[in-house]
């Protein structure tokens, strides 16, 4: 389980990208972001994917592309298998210096046959990329990179638009502010953090801060704070011998009624269903 955070990802050995085949038996990954292009291709099962406050239900054979520094989260309650590809922007900047100005935007449900053809090409390329990496025959690195560049070529030419430097700067400034907020919450989530306190930390008044946070995250600051606590509680329910009340108080959650309601809303079950299962 992850808290909402700026995620740091280690590349695969021999490749400057992160590529993985994931089997998920059920999880909720809370809101986070990273400076990588992320592509998730669902092989089996289903997955609820929220990106930039837009929720999408992924089914077998579908994929999603996440822009760098875009806030996203996932929910898998019934299990799935997927291919995960993450490409660092710092790697791409060596080849395309203005890569940060490109924003990927895909209408996954378009009826346009040309769009559907391109979407199928991306899915097929992702499958071939996994095969090349899995078997690692001599020179597989060249094959992997050629497929990754083919993916990026399709995305840039068929599913992207370009922002100007002013807009890029504004977005980066907002994300630095969000990063500070999440780091502060990570360090102080067990405490009673007021909106006035956190707003003052980032130099905003309470009203503007609340609007800014809700627009960026899709949830209020207090909802986010509760989710960070819930994630910590979920982990302890599985891995400690403490009782449920002790675990809640350990992570700053003292209202049992609110805790149980929010826990069920987020995880689709009661705390006792998870407790050291």
- First-to-last alpha carbon distance for the chain, in angstroms, is 16
pLDDT of residue 44: 93
Per-residue pLDDT reduced to its tens digit, 208-252: 999 999 999 989 999 999 999 999 998 898 888 899 999 999 999
Tokens for 102?
Answer: 């490109």
Look up the pTM and report it.
0.82
Contact assessment for residue 143 and residue 132, using Cβ atoms and an 8 Å cutoff: yes
pLDDT of residue 3: 38
Sheet of 72-76: strands edge to edge?
A: 27-32, 72-76, 47-51, 54-58
Tokens for 149?
Answer: 């560049």
| Domains of the chain by start residue, with CATH | 18-162 (2.60.120.10), 166-274 (1.10.10.60)
DSSP count for the chain of H helices, then E strands = 10, 10
pLDDT of residue 148: 96
Residues of the chain with pLDDT under 70: 1-14, 276-277
3-class state of residue 21 by DSSP: strand
Per-residue pLDDT reduced to its tens digit, 94-115: 999 999 999 999 999 999 999 9
């Amino acid at each position: 389980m992850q808290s909402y955070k700026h995620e740091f990802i280690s590349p695969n050995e021999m490749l400057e990208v992160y590529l993985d085949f994931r089997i998920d038996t059920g999880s909720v990954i809370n809101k986070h972001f990273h400076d990588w292009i992320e592509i998730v291709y669902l092989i089996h099962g289903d997955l609820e994917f929220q990106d930039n406050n837009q929720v999408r239900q992924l089914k077998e054979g579908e994929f999603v592309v996440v822009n760098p520094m875009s806030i996203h989260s996932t929910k898998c309650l019934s299990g799935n298998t997927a291919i995960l590809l993450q490409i660092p922007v710092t790697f791409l900047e060596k080849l395309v210096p203005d890569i940060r100005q490109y924003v990927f935007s895909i209408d996954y449900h378009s009826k346009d046959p040309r769009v559907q053809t391109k979407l199928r090409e991306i899915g097929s390329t992702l499958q071939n990329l996994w095969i090349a990496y899995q078997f690692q025959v001599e020179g597989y690195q060249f094959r992997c990179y050629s497929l990754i560049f083919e993916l990026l070529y399709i995305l840039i030419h068929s599913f992207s638009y370009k922002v100007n430097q002013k807009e890029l700067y504004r977005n980066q400034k907002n994300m630095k502010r969000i990063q500070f907020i999440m780091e502060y919450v990570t360090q102080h989530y067990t405490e009673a953090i007021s909106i006035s306190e956190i707003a003052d930390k980032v130099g905003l008044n309470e009203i503007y801060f609340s609007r800014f946070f809700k627009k960026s995250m899709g949830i209020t600051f207090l909802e986010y704070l509760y989710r960070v606590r819930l994630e910590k509680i979920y982990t302890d329910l599985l891995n400690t011998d403490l009782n449920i009340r002790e675990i809640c108080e350990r992570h700053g959650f003292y209202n049992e009624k609110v805790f149980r309601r929010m826990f069920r809303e987020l995880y689709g079950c009661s705390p006792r269903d998870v407790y050291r299962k």
